[in-house]
Amino acid sequence: MAGALKASFEKRYPGGAVIHGELQSNGLNRPPEGRGGQGVTVLFGPSGCGKTTILRCLAGLERPEEGLIQFGEETWFDAQRGVCLSPQQRGIGFVFQDYALFPHLTVEGNVGYGLRHLHRSERRKHVGEMLSRFDLIQVAQHHPRQLSGGQQQRVALARALVRRPRLLLLDEPLSALDAALREALRTELRHWLAGCEIPVLLVTHDRAEVLTLGDELVVMSGGRTQQSGPVLSVFNHPANAEVARIVGIQTLQPGRVVDVSDGLATVEVGTATLLALALPGPCRDVLVGIRAEDVVLIEGFEKTSSARNRLPAVVESLHVEVPMVRVELDCGFPLRALITRQAVEELNLRLGTRLTALVKAPHVHLIPA
């Protein structure tokens, strides 16, 4: 029964913004073997696309105007029948963006907050279990302001999970931390979430978090679900240009399939010709997507090179981004590459440098136009 969340609703805001929530049971599937837990579904999209609104509607903190939210046999929201369960009735755990720990309570008080209905000894036992599971025993008597970011996050998780919720919702759980800590805690959070015996729905706008934390992915933009499925499948096979951009495919160029054989498609892009894994079904006009980090740059410039996906290229501009350098190339079509600063020095890259760009066929993503 767990994971049987089905939601399809519409939240309208004064001023015209409309958020469509679409989460079907396939959005909360069991994870691939070996990842443990009930699976983490990530709601991913640019800021302001309505991810948090959807999470709040699921929690009962916002009331949609239209639609239906069901969890297992229960109806949490039904606009037509006028049903809307309160957050208290839904039995969910919610981890807020900045954790929303109660500043006037100790760690122990925060974790035990939702267990008032239990007898004192019972409550102690549950809180104690959570404190040891989340490595918080040392700081049990501290107040939230005395805790590090990572400890605060663990308190928020412990506080939500101690009530044995049926669904855990996390709103941008790492964005309250500074960059260095965020990276370290990403893996740690994966570890905690994998230990949850319940389905987890997480909202983020960070691609790295999607890849580390997610099993299933729901890509949103402009208040709508654009695509959903297993994380890698969505990252490798974006359904449209919008999703391709959101999952970080920086080069997107119109192309034309001129030949298909042995599962490989020959595509003309600008004045260049590329080999790519063919799309299922016939498709002539496509968008060709290439991730900047999948482009390899090597010395040498042969106009006549006919080897697979070896593209003679000219450097158009260089942009230093920490820790990588973004290189804009012209190789018959505009191509973007992301390489280390060391590589820039080794290749002695300048404006107008001629070199060769390599892209493996599986890294050339074809999107039906």
Partner 1 sequence: MDWQAMGLSLRLAACTTLVLLVLGLPLAHWLAHTRRRWRFLIEAVVALPIVPPPTVLGFYVLMAIGSLSPVGRSYEALFGHRLPFTFQGLLVASVLYSLPFAVQPFASAFATVDRRMMEASWCLGVGGLGTFIRVVLPLAWPGVLTGVVLSFAHAIGEFGVVLMIGGDLAGVTRTASISIYDQVQALNYSAAHQTSLALLFFSFVVLALTYGLQRRFIYVWPAH
Q: Which residues, 6 or more positions from 86, have their beta carbon under 8 angstroms from its beta carbon? A: 60
Determine if 98 is a binding residue for partner 1 (CB under 8 A): yes
Please give the Cα distance from 346 to 355 (Å, whole number). 12
Interface with partner 1 includes 159 (CB under 8 A)? yes
State the DSSP string of 1-69.
Answer: -TT-EEEEEEEE-TTS-EEEEEE-GGGGPPPPTTS-SS-EEEEE-STTSSHHHHHHHHHTSS--SEEEE
Stretch that binds partner 1, among 29-37, 83-91, 122-130, 238-246 (CB under 8 A): 83-91
Q: Which is nearer to partner 1, 100 or 318 (CB)?
A: 100
**Which of 3, 21, 93, 223 is close enough to bind partner 1 by CB under 8 A?**
93
Which of 176/283 has CB closer to partner 1?
176
Interface of this chain with partner 1, residues 3 to 62, rule: CB under 8 A? 59-61
Query: Of 86-94, 208-216, 319-327, 337-345, which segment contacts partner 1 by CB under 8 A?
Result: 86-94
Backbone torsion region of residue 348, taken as left when φ is above 0, otherwise alpha when ψ lies between -120 and 50, otherwise beta: left
Using an 8 Å Cβ cutoff, are 99 and 93 in contact? no
Single residue of 24, 25, 26, 86 touching partner 1 by CB under 8 A: 86
Site for partner 1 in 169-198 (CB under 8 A): none
Q: What letter would DSSP give residue 363?
A: G
Nearer to partner 1, 61 or 264 (CB): 61
Q: Does 114 bind partner 1 (CB under 8 A)?
A: yes
What secondary structure letter does DSSP report for 279? P
120 is a site residue for partner 1 (CB under 8 A): no
DSSP 116: T
By CB under 8 A, tell whether 126 contacts partner 1.
Answer: no
Sole window of 121-129, 141-149, 209-217, 301-309 interacting with partner 1 (rule: CB under 8 A): 141-149
Decide if residue 103 touches partner 1 (CB under 8 A). Answer: yes
Establish if 87 lies at the interface with partner 1 (CB under 8 A): yes
Q: Segment near partner 1 (CB under 8 A), from 158-166, 223-231, 289-297, 356-364?
A: 158-166
3 state SS of 305 = coil
How far apart CA 224 and CA 323 sit, in angstroms, is 33
CB of 36 to partner 1, least distance (A): 25
Q: Which of 78, 96, 273, 277 binds partner 1 (CB under 8 A)?
A: 96
160 binds partner 1 (CB under 8 A): yes
263: contact with partner 1 by CB under 8 A? no
H helical segments located in 81-206: 87-90, 107-112, 120-133, 149-161, 179-194
State the nearest-atom distance from the C-beta of 272 to partner 1, in Å. 52
Euclidean distance between CA atoms 185 and 190, whole angstroms: 8
Q: Which stretch binds partner 1 (CB under 8 A): 72-80, 94-102, 120-128, 289-297?
A: 94-102
Q: Which stretch binds partner 1 (CB under 8 A): 76-84, 155-163, 211-219, 241-249?
A: 155-163
Positions 306 through 325 that interact with partner 1 (CB under 8 A): none
Angle made by CA atoms 149, 155, 158, in degrees to the nearest 5: 145
| Nearest by Cα to 253 from 360, 331, 192 | 331
Binding mask 61-80 for partner 1 (x = CB under 8 A): x-------------------
100 binds partner 1 (CB under 8 A): yes
64 contacts 10 by C-beta, under 8 angstroms:
yes
Residue tagged 């729901």 (tokens): 218
Task: Note whether 116 binds partner 1 by CB under 8 A.
Answer: yes
User: How many C-beta atoms lie closer than 10 Å to residue 284's C-beta?
Assistant: 11
The two three-digit tokens of residue 366, written as one number: 């074809």
Q: Where on the chain is the footprint of partner 1 (CB under 8 A)?
A: 59-61, 86-88, 91-94, 96, 98, 100-104, 113-114, 116-117, 143-145, 159-160, 163
